[in-house]
A = this chain, B = another copy of it.
Amino acid sequence: MTSQPDSALHSDAANPSRREQILRAAAQLFAERGSRAVGVDDVGAAVGVTGPAIYRHFASKDAMLAEMLLRISERLLAGGTERIAAAGGSPAAQLRALVDFHVDFALDNPALITVQDRDLGALSDPDARRVRQLQRSYVEEWVAVLTRLHPDASTAACRARAHAVFGLINSTPHSAGRLARPAMAALLADMAVAAATAR
């Protein structure tokens, strides 16, 4: 989205720009200790520069966090929309698609998941509003699917159900590493589907 049209410098994945390096290192540190406990110097040290160098790439520490959270929310929302569309019309298939997507995302980005629901409160008011709006949209995608699966359940119940499933899948960071990735993915997905369809 913010790609410079001309400069083909720093390809995204293999040779990430300093800016991307910083965002990644910061996400890791924020997840481990909480954004408020991490100093600008810590983030700098993690990418091999001093603290103030950060300000060549970000306006402030808060701006880093804001960009981080905005990106996650956007990726989740976009991914959810895409997977639903690709899953056909069956609510069960759509649920499975959403679950698989979210499980993959959580296993691929445990740090981002952790930061997202721990440090949302550290955002400035307008940034927090924007993130919450994106999150809400994503939740509503789940609610729509869950409502079709549970036709006589209230919207509030479906929303609570969606949050509970998120909590289940997002528990990954707390128990990561003990289980091999494919086994963990299968386990979480099965549990999530069972929880989403229970009763």
- Give A contacts to B, CB under 8 Å: 32-34, 36-37, 117-119, 121-122, 154, 156-157, 159-161, 163-171, 174-175, 178-179, 183-184, 187-188, 190-199
Contacts and interface: CB of A to CB of B under 8 A. Distances in A.
A165 B195 CA distance: 10
Contact of A163 (B121, B154, B157, B171): B171
A156 B178 contact: yes
Nearest 3 CB-CB pairs, A to B?
A167-B171, A194-B198, A163-B175
B157 A34 contact: no
Q: How many copies does the complex hold?
A: 2
7 contacts: A34-B118, A160-B178, A160-B179, A160-B188, A163-B171, A165-B168, A190-B198
Given A154-B179, A194-B199, 9 more contacts: A34-B36, A157-B183, A161-B191, A164-B168, A164-B188, A167-B171, A190-B199, A191-B195, A191-B199
Nearest to A156: B178
